[in-house]
Copies of this chain bind each other. A is one copy, B any other.
């Protein structure tokens, strides 16, 4: 589907600073960036880089002096999802996994899977098929974790599993951690999300099943085929929308996702019979 995505962010620089933005949609075989424009007021020096690990491109922006700055991003993107029958989404044996999947078995800052082995095994271990395990993880999170409330930038999956309150970031971290605890590689997935209300950046997770990275939204807040991928990574540490070095005071942000195609048939991964994989 074709979408226009946009983000407008304003900061006040209290000192010369460097800002790293990770809000450009990812370029892939399936997701085509038809046009994009990133500008700032006043005009700033920007450089685009690609990460070595993870899947993302990001902008390094130098802010040489104090004062208010506004960043404007707009792009037209065509995203693409593959629909895969559940029976093709089974466990991949460790010895068959590529390095890019093995990497996502490790615990990370916000996804301490090493502390959740027994919990995951006791709760989901008796489910035989890998994809059904992931669906059960998603539903456990959706049922037990209250959306909203009070979390901090340091809240991690280890907190969310017991405190059971959080936002999309926390839902995704917990999904990632539980998959990894069951030896299913899992990545944190950031995106624009069509029909997300109120409009904002969104976070989901991807589980490696049958050789595919299947996208899962434990919040169930937006149709999965309306997601426009920005980045995949270990967790929120390496996929943050904005990383600040120096002293920038956040002022405000507006995020938008507009459908450019005439029609949209939203699907959620509600069925246990098929999964959606971002291409």
Contact = CB atoms under 8 A, between A and B. Distances in A.
Nearest to A159: B115
A264 B245 CA distance: 43
A26 B258 CA distance: 48
Interface stretch (A7-15, A77-85, A99-107, A221-229): A99-107
A40 to B, nearest CB: 14
The oligomer's copy count stands at 4
Contacts of A152: 150, 152
A118 B163 contact: yes
A147 to B, nearest CB: 12
Interface stretch (A44-52, A189-197, A206-214, A268-276): A44-52
Given A20-B94, A60-B95, A108-B109, A163 B115 contact: yes
A88 interface: no
Interface string A204-244: 00000000000000000000000000000010011000000
Given A94-B20, A109-B109, A118 B164 contact: yes
A144 interface: yes
A109 B115 CA distance: 11
The SS class assigned to the A binding surface is mixed
A162 B154 contact: no
Contacts of A164: 118-119, 122
Contacts of A116: 162
Contact of A109 (B99, B106, B153): B106
A154 B114 contact: yes
Given A107-B109, A144-B122, A237-B106, A51 B162 contact: no
Interface of A: 18, 20, 45, 47, 49-54, 60, 62, 93-95, 98-100, 102-103, 106-109, 112, 114-119, 122, 143-144, 146, 150, 152-154, 158-159, 161-165, 183, 234, 237-238, 245
22 contacts: A20-B102, A45-B95, A47-B95, A51-B103, A52-B52, A52-B100, A62-B95, A94-B245, A103-B238, A108-B237, A109-B109, A109-B112, A109-B114, A114-B153, A115-B154, A115-B163, A118-B146, A118-B165, A119-B144, A119-B161, A158-B162, A162-B162
